[in-house]
Amino acid sequence: MIHDELTLDGSPNLNLASFVHTWMPDEANKLMMENISKNLIDQDEYPMTRISMLADLWHAPDAHDAIGTATTGSSEAIQLGGLAMKRIWQAKRKAAGKSIHEPGPNIVMGANAQVALEKFARYFEVECRLVPISEESHYRLDPQKAMQYVDENTIGVYVILGSTYTGHYEPVKEMSDLLDKYEASTGHSVPIHVDGASGAFIAPFATPNHLWDFKIPRVVSINTSGHKFGLAYVGVGWVVWRSKDLLPKDLIFELHYLGSVEYSFSLNFSRPAHPIIAQYFNFVHLGFEGYKAVALDDLKNARLLSRALERSGLFNVLSDIHRPAPGLLSGVKNTIGFDESDAVNYVPGLPVVSFRFSDKYRAQNPDVQQKWVQTLLRAKGWIVPNYELAPDLENIEILRVVVRESVTADMVDRLVSDIVEIAEDLASSDSPTHALNQLQSNKSAEQHHGKLQKGEGSSSNGTYAKPC
């Protein structure tokens, strides 16, 4: 019965809304089944060796001095990264004889932040300072604007390597440079935690010269989701601090268990070991070259999709990974061309395509609502979400496709023809889908679901409508 009921779930493979990886080779499936009953806490071989691999990948000055932990995903990793920054700020304030309560700590991030980052602020009682996004900031954190929110009570800035809305990398280096200047003039050192949930498994392979990681001294910690572009099944994430000194000692527990000592600084005691085994399998099986091949392929398919949508004339593409990198001289590019398969020749970012109806389409079809594209694609099996952007651009809606490893060039081809067909149908007044317009205007008040009454609960734009 349960099996039958679960077959009604959408197909994870056609779910282009999710960043979460859905496929692993048979050998990995077998390994995971063999270890399905194991508790991570009981493992002799703790995930520490993986931490030094990641510290190395992200250019920690001394991979042996780096410290970190496996987590259930980036959400847990982000809580721990934020907590460490809060404790360090508290210790500094106390040492200086200043209050840690009035006015209390704050943390700065773009309004495009994933919900896990806002959760940290609320759960750990830190004021959340959201910097509005704009078209000029490419729908992500604007470092100049962020500085207006930074003061002596700022525990740190969350910078996102790969905004969930558009896949844009936030400018870590620029943020760091401005915080350097701020420190020089005020004496306050504000650290950066990089939320690399998606980007920390793409950037090192696809655009190795892009500067975002521990090469920047102000970056104290980085998180990532092993189950996104780390290519493991859901249930594994990581957080790494550049140095042991940056993880306050009181956050580390010594666990004496069956005669051995483990150091623990995660939120869970028990948790399955197999997701971490799956991640380890990928490190060994794919290696640097394997991850690189997958990342380049994802980006290539994302560029294919971006260009096809733009050429249709029906859509504007808001993501930039299909545009040549600013450093490339346009004259040279036009005359001799450049290697189209190499991501270093393009604006760095995630293999994510964000798009909306073109100005022309909207002018010609003012009654067509973009969210119908989501509904009509769903009828064809595709899950492509239509989101509102974050403040101050909440009146702009975008459709978003995450091009994961399972999205092949062939699928891109079929997806484009389905999207174009739907947009054209919606525009032609004699097509059946155009009747949606009529339905919409007749729609009566929404039915109420759930136990929370209107006005109760979160006053922010909430978790449901936020991209994840």
Residue given tokens 């000194």 in the structure block:
245
Which one among 106, 137, 164, 306 touches ligand PLP, defined by CB under 6 A?
A: 164
- 168: its two tokens: 């844009």
Least Cβ distance, residue 405 to ligand PLP (angstroms):
16
From the CB of residue 432, how many other CB atoms can be counted at a distance below 10 Å?
Answer: 7
> 163 vs 374, which CB is nearer to ligand PLP?
163
> 128 vs 468, which CB is nearer to ligand PLP?
468
Which one among 17, 141, 160, 398 touches ligand PLP, defined by CB under 6 A?
A: 160
- 171: its two tokens: 């400018």
> What number of chain residues touch ligand PLP (CB under 6 A)?
15
Which one among 15, 69, 75, 386 touches ligand PLP, defined by CB under 6 A?
A: 75
Check residue 170 for interaction with ligand PLP (CB under 6 A): no
Stretch that binds ligand PLP, among 68-76, 85-93, 168-176, 432-440 (CB under 6 A): 68-76
Check residue 319 for interaction with ligand PLP (CB under 6 A): no
> 73 vs 385, which CB is nearer to ligand PLP?
73
Least Cβ distance, residue 256 to ligand PLP (angstroms):
30
Check residue 74 for interaction with ligand PLP (CB under 6 A): yes
Least Cβ distance, residue 72 to ligand PLP (angstroms):
7
Burial class (CB in 10 A: 0-12, 13-18, 19+), 302: buried
Distance from C-alpha of 22 to C-alpha of 231, rounded to nearest angstrom: 8
Least Cβ distance, residue 39 to ligand PLP (angstroms):
20
Least Cβ distance, residue 385 to ligand PLP (angstroms):
14
> 153 vs 225, which CB is nearer to ligand PLP?
225
Task: Restricting to residues 102-121, name those near ligand PLP by CB under 6 A.
Answer: 114, 116
Least Cβ distance, residue 399 to ligand PLP (angstroms):
17
- 364: its two tokens: 């010609």
**Whole-Å CA distances, 26 to 30, 235, 310, 407, 412:** 6, 18, 38, 19, 25
Check residue 157 for interaction with ligand PLP (CB under 6 A): no
Distance from C-alpha of 84 to C-alpha of 86, rounded to nearest angstrom: 5
Which one among 57, 66, 69, 73 touches ligand PLP, defined by CB under 6 A?
A: 73
- 417: its two tokens: 């023809």
- If you compute the radius of gyration of the chain from its CA atoms, what whole number of angstroms results? 23
Check residue 279 for interaction with ligand PLP (CB under 6 A): no
Least Cβ distance, residue 196 to ligand PLP (angstroms):
8
Preceding omega of 103 cis (within 30 degrees of 0): yes
Task: Restricting to residues 180-239, name those near ligand PLP by CB under 6 A.
Answer: 195, 197-198, 225, 237
Task: Using CB under 6 A, list all residues that contact ligand PLP.
Answer: 19, 73-75, 114, 116, 160, 162, 164, 195, 197-198, 225, 237, 468
